[in-house]
């Protein structure tokens, strides 16, 4: 989800009277990001052109998206907004570090940041980033056959957040309509289904 789509989702929720959760923390992002990096590091060289549940992206393009959004949010928070690397895993690691560094700046999560569609706190914007990141973790695992070893508590928080913003996420055009999923399915599978994935 791009920066403008994050704003649109949060604004839609506000207009519909569904306030977002209180937001995510820098520690939350660090834990989720480490898990995503591990999934990327497990991609074999011959898998980067493989398809993913995101129909428009192969694995390399999905990794590029993760990098782009990390830098976009880091730049919005006053940190580094771009970088280059020779391979997808290093590129992701550098982008995640840029966002971690930005999150360490004083008051970042408490401040309200302008965007094309809404003004929201850094904590709320990070919460959207977390939901997007963890959902794409499911995509990575599905595409590679790896185990989706993502923090369960963070996945449950992301699921609760997305459930509050279901309509807004679908209207952003980046996620499909929620798909059927068993009520007792793992939180990550339910998160994937809520964002349009066929589980």
Residue 19 has pLDDT above 50, yes or no: no
Q: Six-digit token pair at 100?
A: 């971690």
Q: What are phi and psi of 112, to 5 degrees?
A: -100, 130
Instruction: Name the nearest CA neighbour of 39 among 131, 151, 129, 125.
Output: 151
56: tokens are 């428009």
pLDDT of residue 191: 96
CA distance 159 to 153: 10
Q: What is the DSSP letter of 121?
A: E
Confidence band of 95 (pLDDT split at 50, 70, 90): very high
State how far the alpha carbon of 12 is from the alpha carbons of 5, 21, 175, in Å.
Answer: 10, 14, 15
pLDDT over 70 at 188, yes or no: yes
Q: What's this model's pTM, rounded to 2 decimal places? A: 0.86
The residue with greater pLDDT, 26 or 168, is 26
Which one has a higher pLDDT value, 97 or 195? 97
Average pLDDT over residues 8-33: 69
Distances (CA, A) of 62 to 44, 52, 96, 131: 15, 8, 15, 15
Residue 20 has pLDDT above 60, yes or no: no
CATH architecture of 3-194: Up-down Bundle (1.20)
Tens-place pLDDT, residues 38-59: 999 999 999 999 999 998 999 9
The pLDDT of residue 176 is: 72
């Amino acid at each position: 989800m791009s920066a403008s789509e994050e704003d649109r989702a949060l604004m839609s929720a506000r207009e519909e009277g569904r306030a977002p959760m209180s937001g995510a923390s820098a520690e939350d992002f660090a834990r989720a990001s480490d898990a995503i990096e591990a999934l990327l590091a497990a991609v074999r060289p011959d898998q980067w052109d493989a398809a993913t549940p995101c129909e428009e992206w192969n694995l390399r393009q999905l990794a590029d998206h993760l990098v782009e959004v990390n830098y976009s949010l880091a730049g919005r928070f006053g940190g580094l907004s771009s970088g280059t690397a020779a391979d997808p895993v290093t590129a992701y690691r550098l982008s995640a570090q840029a966002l971690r560094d930005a999150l360490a700046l004083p008051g970042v999560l408490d401040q309200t940041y302008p965007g094309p569609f809404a003004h929201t706190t850094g904590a709320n914007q990070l919460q959207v980033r977390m939901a997007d990141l963890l959902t794409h973790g499911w995509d990575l695992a599905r595409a590679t056959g790896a185990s989706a070893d993502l923090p369960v508590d963070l996945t449950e928080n992301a699921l609760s957040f997305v459930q509050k913003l279901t309509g807004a996420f679908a209207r952003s055009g980046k996620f499909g309509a929620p798909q059927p999923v068993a009520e007792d399915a793992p939180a990550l599978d339910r998160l994937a289904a809520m964002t349009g994935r066929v589980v």
